[in-house]
A and B are shown apart, each in its own frame.
Chain A
Amino acid sequence: MTTKKVTVVDYRTSNLLSIAKALQKAGAEVELTQNADDIAKSEKLVLPGVGSFGAAMRNIDSFGMKQSLQEFGRSGRPLIGICLGMQLLFDVSFELGINDGLGLIPGEVVAFNSGVKVPHMGWNQVEFQRKSRLFDGLPDGQYAYFVHSYYVRTDDDCVSGKTEYGLKFPSIIERENIFGIQFHPEKSQSFGLRILENFLRV
């Protein structure tokens, strides 16, 4: 397996270790950073995240990384947001108040309120909406591990995968060089690892 360099943004999110481990397993050479300059210099970027949207944005701000994340996203180099990290790519979230995101993809983050149990927790299927570089070698309809109470509302032309939970919500988003996955690839066994491998090949 060829080594691929990837930088993981470390803003004290609690699942950092698991993400880094999964990326290594997928063949990446992982560097963690809390530094805006490192982000600017990196080849490929992973934005993880668990917890609440507002707290995550405040943490990113406190490390002075917001602007460099936005610049990286617009630079054409590959960026992937995972779980809350995916939600942060959008304009705004309504989780515990109204908080601005990175604004790299148009859309908003809203609560599940269609009579389903919240959080959406467990293994659910990802239905491919179109061809994607992330899907190489993967069959449609595989199970991935989800844990979240909010989902993204965005244009269908940004959506590569959807999942049914009271409604069909975007579980994989993609716009040029920017990707996002709502589930946890680091907890989704071979399906999740293959998605990460595919990202490393982008």
Chain B
Amino acid sequence: MLAKRIIPCLDVNAGRVVKGVNFVNLTDAGDPVESAKFYEQEGADEIVFLDITASVDNRSTMLNVVRKTAESIFLPFTVGGGIRTVDDMRNILSNGADKVSLNTAAVLNPELISSGAAEFGVQCIVVAIDAKKVTGRNEAAIPELPEDIAGLGISLWETGDVYEVYVNGGRKPTGIDVVKWAEYVAQKGAGEILLTSIDKDGTNSGYDVDLLRKVTSAVNVPVIASGGAGTMEHFYEAISAGGADAVLAASVFHFGRFKIADVKNYLSKNNIAVRL
């Protein structure tokens, strides 16, 4: 049976892990490769690197990290952050990453999804969606969409909760409806969706199950839940009620609140298939 995946996420800035793994006996906890090796040992099913390097000059540093990671671990890993072109994707994939994750660039240029999928296969293309529940917005304040995606706008008349896509690290609203965007990117060639709740991120108060449910029931590609992990029950909720195929977390693992193996044992006891 296909196992639900548990995925630790490492933020990397100029080749160094930030908000790093601070409880381990690593020689160098700021080294992304050491951290990846640690999580491989801990039973991670995949690893996600989010490159938050602002400067373009430091891009080659990340490629070096990717190559060294690929040489050190025998586990799939994804790299996101700052990927703008098919060449950027090729550089990362040919250095040994298994998938690239697109976020802002996919919104600015949706054709990037289909070009990447045609070149490398849909299995390499993750589209990361940062979602925020729409509250107290008036119609006039919603950004107008480019013509090619004009049909994907949020509608405040719709019943139930509406979620909006944000870009630029969750700072900039786009006016795009999350569910419509998810359907659109899946049809464009995204092989997987990494869905982060901006409202829940960093709160440790649980994943946004309602958001997850809306997206997982709309698309036929795997969905990774992100944002809000605080307890092992939260992982269970994301999978059982949210329909997530994989669950991503950072701080609970980095700060040793519990271990990946603890989460997996908990899920297994609750009849969720995991790789123990």
Contacts and interface: CB of A to CB of B under 8 A. Distances in A.
Interface of A: 14-18, 21-22, 25, 50-52, 117-125, 143, 145, 147-149, 164-165, 184, 186-189, 192-193
Contacts of A51: 119-121
Interface string B115-140: 00011111110000000000000000
B96 A119 contact: no
27 contacts: A14-B93, A15-B93, A17-B94, A17-B95, A18-B96, A18-B98, A21-B70, A25-B74, A50-B120, A51-B119, A117-B220, A117-B221, A117-B222, A119-B123, A119-B191, A121-B192, A122-B45, A122-B245, A123-B2, A123-B3, A123-B45, A124-B3, A143-B3, A149-B122, A187-B75, A187-B98, A189-B40
B45 A15 contact: no
Contact of B221 (A14, A15, A119, A145): A119
Interface of B: 1-5, 40, 45, 67, 70-71, 74-76, 90, 93-96, 98, 118-124, 191-192, 220-222, 245-246, 275
Given A117-B221, A189-B40, A122 B123 contact: no
Interface of A is mostly: mixed
A123 B275 CA distance: 7
B74 A192 contact: yes
Contacts of B120: 14, 50-51
A155 B246 CA distance: 33
Nearest to B74: A189
B253 to A, nearest CB: 18
B178 to A, nearest CB: 19
Contacts of A147: 76, 98, 123, 191
